[in-house]
Amino acid sequence: MNEPVSLPALSCADDYDPNSMPVDKAREVIGRFLSPLTATERVHVRAALGRVLAADVISPLDVPAHDNSAMDGYAVRHADLKADGEVTLTTVGTAFAGAPYAGTLDAGEAVRIMTGGVVPAGADTIVMQEHVKASDKRVTIGGGHRKGQNLRHAGEDLKTGEPALKRGRRLRSADVGLIASLGIPEIDVYRKLRVAFFSTGDELVSIGTVPKEGQIYDSNRYTIYAMLERLGCEVLDMGVVRDDPALLEQAFMRAAGAADVVITSGGVSVGEADFVKELLNKLGQVVFWKIAMKPGRPLAYGRVGEAHFFGLPGNPVSVMVTFYQFVRYALLTLSGETPVEPTPTFTVPCTSALKKAPGRTEFQRGILTRDDAGRWSVRVTGEQGSGILRSMSEANCFIILPTDQGNVTPGTLVQVQVM
């Protein structure tokens, strides 16, 4: 479990207004209280994709292990060649990948060598096969060859004892291959972050239940489930919990006892927040913010018991935006990943007119496309209501409009963040 960390009077210690919390400030405050996992487990390299290294992977060997040829050609002694003019050497053997030449090259000798073949003792230079005239036992080579050319040196990529991968790295496909290339069968990784989540709301039913009048299907739990799966978390789906203090208290206690992180959706907006606030302050330390952003204004953050807690808004788009903008970074950090790179943003022309009021950061949903000439631009998905989940589904990026930005006219450069 995580170390208990107190959020000393979080809501008044800082000089900010919880009713208009800037996005960056909220991120910074959350960042201060993240205590990464320390528990580790050993996994086979095949099970390592997406896991976070708990220790450096140290190379037990030189890579490559031997001086070897980068080309198909002939291994020679540079001293035998002429600066200009031809020499003819005797071909004394072959060095193929996996089948080295056993002898040492003497003056006037060459060895036929293939890419990856071990450079024979005595040889210091490889001449490409395209640059020679060869017969059965002889090879004629012209001038102009550099000593050491076309040769890959032992330990050139990695020396014995050097870290091949650093602690905190989330392993990608290439890393899995790299670990295997060192002959390492198992590695130490942090255990997966356990995240419990539930939806709150009397109006919600889960798929499989027919909604009665006024009820809607719970989508947030499925969105959250999918986003957590993509981040490599161990998920604990606790279903829908009614807006009932006793049931909510039970759910929070159970979630906090079982997981490192608890995520809820709904119940933090004005009107609903009051009894949730009371409850959470009894069970832990939680702050309620109205973030100066659209969508995703209400956000609760803190601790329930020893678990980290994120209370996301109820609206389906707000859930995703707050998850991407606040929760993702926190979960990756808690998983032991370091450094956690922010999701890249870049600047492209926007072909739509956008309505935007200064005073808050907006995350509009955009479609980034490329024209026939290869130029990228972004247009907004249709309606931007925070209940319209289809706007997220159609989008492949956020258009991030900073606090001071007003309306956007077509052709203006905007910042986009690929999802």
Nearer to Mg ion, 7 or 205 (CB): 205
Q: Does 296 bind Mg ion (CB under 5 A)?
A: no
Q: Does 313 bind Mg ion (CB under 5 A)?
A: no
Q: How far apart are CA 95 and CA 68, in angstroms?
A: 10
Report in angstroms how near the CB of residue 201 gets to Mg ion at its nearest.
4
H-helix or E-strand spanning residue 32: helix 23-32
Among 11, 20, 149, 269, binds ligand AMP (CB under 6 A): 269
Q: How far apart are CA 251 and CA 311, in angstroms?
A: 13
Q: Does 238 bind ligand AMP (CB under 6 A)?
A: no
Q: Does 237 bind ligand AMP (CB under 6 A)?
A: no
204 binds, among Mg ion, ligand AMP, none (CB under 5 to 8 A by kind): ligand AMP
Query: Could you tell me the CA-to-CA distances from 205 to 29, 208, 314 in Å, in that order?
Result: 34, 8, 14
Report in angstroms how near the CB of residue 228 gets to ligand AMP at its nearest.
15
Query: Cα-atom radius of gyration of the chain, to the nearest Å?
Result: 31
Among 59, 68, 69, 220, binds ligand AMP (CB under 6 A): 220
Handedness of CA 66, 71, 77, 78 (dihedral sign): negative
Question: How many Cα atoms are found within 13 Å in the side-chain-facing hemisphere of 267?
Answer: 26
Helix, strand, coil in percent for the chain, rounding step 5: 20, 35, 45
End-to-end CA distance of the chain: give it in Å, rounded.
31
Report in angstroms how near the CB of residue 244 gets to Mg ion at its nearest.
12
Report in angstroms how near the CB of residue 288 gets to ligand AMP at its nearest.
12
219 binds, among ligand AMP, Mg ion, none (CB under 5 to 8 A by kind): ligand AMP
Nearer to ligand AMP, 106 or 244 (CB): 244
Q: Does 315 bind ligand AMP (CB under 6 A)?
A: yes
Q: How far apart are CA 347 and CA 368, in angstroms?
A: 11
Q: Does 69 bind ligand AMP (CB under 6 A)?
A: no
Q: Name the token pair of 321.
A: 């935006």
H-helix or E-strand spanning residue 277: helix 273-283
Report in angstroms how near the CB of residue 357 gets to ligand AMP at its nearest.
21
Report in angstroms how near the CB of residue 298 gets to ligand AMP at its nearest.
7
Q: How far apart are CA 289 and CA 309, in angstroms?
A: 13
Q: Does 149 bind ligand AMP (CB under 6 A)?
A: no
Q: Does 203 bind ligand AMP (CB under 6 A)?
A: yes
323: which DSSP letter? I
Q: Does 62 bind ligand AMP (CB under 6 A)?
A: no
For 28, phi then psi, to 5°, come to -65, -45
Residue reference for tokens 């889960």:
206
Q: Which residue, among 195, 239, 181, 179, has the nearest Cα to 48 in the 3D structure?
A: 179
Which span (28-36, 150-158, 245-253, 262-270) binds ligand AMP, by CB under 6 A? 262-270
Q: Name the token pair of 132.
A: 């020679």
Q: Does 272 bind ligand AMP (CB under 6 A)?
A: yes
- Give the residue nearest to ligand AMP (CB): 314
Report in angstroms how near the CB of residue 13 gets to Mg ion at its nearest.
29
Of residues 317 through 346, those in contact with ligand AMP by CB under 6 A are: none
Q: Which residue, among 287, 408, 288, 304, has the nearest Cα to 354 in the 3D structure?
A: 408
Q: Does 219 bind ligand AMP (CB under 6 A)?
A: yes
Question: What residues have CB less than 8 Å from 229, skipping those under 6 apart?
Answer: 235
Q: Does 218 bind ligand AMP (CB under 6 A)?
A: yes
Report in angstroms how near the CB of residue 236 gets to ligand AMP at its nearest.
16
Query: Could you tell me the CA-to-CA distances from 268 to 206, 314, 360 in Å, in that order?
Result: 20, 8, 19
Nearer to ligand AMP, 218 or 337 (CB): 218
H-helix or E-strand spanning residue 68: strand 68-69
Nearer to ligand AMP, 72 or 272 (CB): 272
Q: Does 266 bind ligand AMP (CB under 6 A)?
A: yes
Nearer to Mg ion, 8 or 271 (CB): 271
- Residues in contact with ligand AMP by CB under 6 A are 199, 201, 203-204, 216, 218-221, 265-267, 269, 272, 313-316
Residues in contact with Mg ion by CB under 5 A are: 201, 266, 314
